[in-house]
């Protein structure tokens, strides 16, 4: 559908700048609305990926062009947002040009990734037919990994090859073939939901807060102090002391203040709960 001309294509050059942007923004709304129709499949993906990571696996993205860059962005943001290890979410981006058609490159990069049956692999391709992605997905299936396919082309080869097919029907682009527009918007929204859903299910957020935040700068250290204070009711001084003792780890500081634990005890309890703050606090978690 992205290759088809938009219904208003012939009049775009005669529109005012404001009118052109209104057309684009209306199409972006349609793209986001289209994501609503695949929420059940996205939920299956979140649960399946969470199970694999809970068992010690990793999450791999394979994409090319705009899809690959969006995947790389999502993977890069996971450690900063959720405090997870750098290698837990890995993006394999073929880039543009001939590489998109290079099935051998897809196979080789999937093999070099050392995929295992406990891993989850997400292939991302607006057309659902990118050779690099399809070859990587085939290797993932051979390894027994969970395979999720995200495309904007219902009935595509990627959807057929995936255990869970997320096919977002976004329709013609304002600029035919430019999948950085609606297709890119829909893929970005979907990747946001999947990674956030996964790490929420795995306990890397708590009550809608980034409790895995890494205090790499003043802004993030301030965020950690605020959320520890909000979640414990402790004074500024108590929060500062707990975070200092916990080497900036907000989850450990929260356990110390909520449960009256020493730093070592709090850290050990968090480790035994696999980093899940809710479980470490003895709270039931759904999923």
Task: Give catalytic residue positions.
Answer: 77, 100
Comparing CA positions, the residue from 254, 246, 264, 199 lying closest to residue 229 is 254
Residues in the chain: 287
The answer to whether the beta carbons of residues 50 and 88 sit under 8 Å apart is: no
d(C-alpha 2, C-alpha 126), whole Å: 8
SS3 call for 217: coil
Where residue 93 falls (left for φ over 0; alpha for ψ -120 to 50; beta otherwise) is beta
Q: How many CA atoms lie within 13 A of 120 on its CB side?
A: 24
Helices assigned H by DSSP within the chain:
17-36, 39-54, 65-82, 103-112, 131-143, 157-161, 182-201, 218-232, 236-245, 250-259, 263-272, 277-280
């Amino acid at each position: 559908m992205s290759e088809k001309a938009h219904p208003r294509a012939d009049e775009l050059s005669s529109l005012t700048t404001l009118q052109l942007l209104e057309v684009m923004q209306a199409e972006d709304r349609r793209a986001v609305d289209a994501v609503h129709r695949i929420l059940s499949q996205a939920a299956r993906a979140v649960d399946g990926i969470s199970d694999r990571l809970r068992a010690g696996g990793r999450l791999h993205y394979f994409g090319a062009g705009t899809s690959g860059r969006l995947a790389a962005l999502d993977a890069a943001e996971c450690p900063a947002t959720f405090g997870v290890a750098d290698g837990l979410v890995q993006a394999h981006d073929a880039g543009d040009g001939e590489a998109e058609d290079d099935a051998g490159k897809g196979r080789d990069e999937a093999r070099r990734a050392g995929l295992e049956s406990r891993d989850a692999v997400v292939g991302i391709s607006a057309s659902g037919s990118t050779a690099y992605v399809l070859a990587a997905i085939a290797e993932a299936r051979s390894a027994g990994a969970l395979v999720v396919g995200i495309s904007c082309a219902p009935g595509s080869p990627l959807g057929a090859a995936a255990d869970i097919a997320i096919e977002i029907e976004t329709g013609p682009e304002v600029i035919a073939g430019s999948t950085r527009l609606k297709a890119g918007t829909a893929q970005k929204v979907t990747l946001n939901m999947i990674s956030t859903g996964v790490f929420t299910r795995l306990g890397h957020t708590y009550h809608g807060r980034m409790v895995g935040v890494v205090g790499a700068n003043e802004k993030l250290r301030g965020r950690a102090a605020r959320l520890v204070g909000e979640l414990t009711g402790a004074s500024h001084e108590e929060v500062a002391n707990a975070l200092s003792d916990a080497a900036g780890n907000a989850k450990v500081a929260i356990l110390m203040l909520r449960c009256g634990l020493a730093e070592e005890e709090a850290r050990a309890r968090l480790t035994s709960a696999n980093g899940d703050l809710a479980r470490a606090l003895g709270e039931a978690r759904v999923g």
